[in-house]
Amino acid sequence: MGAATEFDTIAHDGPKDTEGNAGRMSYRIAETGADYCKVQLTSSDGNARFFKDASWTFRLRPAEQGTRLECSVDFVLRLRYIMLTPVLFAMRGAIAKDLRRLKTVLEAS
């Protein structure tokens, strides 16, 4: 997968959209480098409607037992959803859980 590749994620739980999918969000790989990639949110409905802009940067770092994957998230809320700031901050545990699941999948392949 390289720059301009697009993909969707679908949550296992949650309210369904009009197509019957829970938590579908769409993304595009915006940049790639020797040790990183930047993923940009492209959808604007469902849970994505809260964000004016959102991106995730994944970096590979050497580690004692292999490679460490670091993830940073940058997003700007739409002004009308600014009151969600404390809620999103409180959800950082859910984000960590998602990253642990990603780690499990990557280590299994």
Task: Answer yes or no: is 1 within a domain.
Answer: no
Task: Answer yes or no: is 37 within a domain.
Answer: yes
pLDDT for 13 = 65
- Residue 45's nearest CA partner among 24, 21, 14, 28 is 24
pLDDT for 93 = 80
Specify the number of domains making up the chain: 1
Task: Answer yes or no: is 24 within a domain.
Answer: yes
pLDDT for 80 = 87
Buried b (16+ CB within 10 A) or exposed e, 80-96: eeeeeeeebeeeeeeee
pLDDT for 24 = 78
Task: Answer yes or no: is 75 within a domain.
Answer: yes
Query: Domain residues for 74?
Result: 6-108
Q: What is the pTM of this model?
A: 0.70
What's the average model confidence in pLDDT over 36-65?
A: 91
Task: Answer yes or no: is 102 within a domain.
Answer: yes
Residue 44 has pLDDT above 80, yes or no: yes
Q: How confident is the model at residue 34 (pLDDT cuts 50, 70, 90)?
A: very high
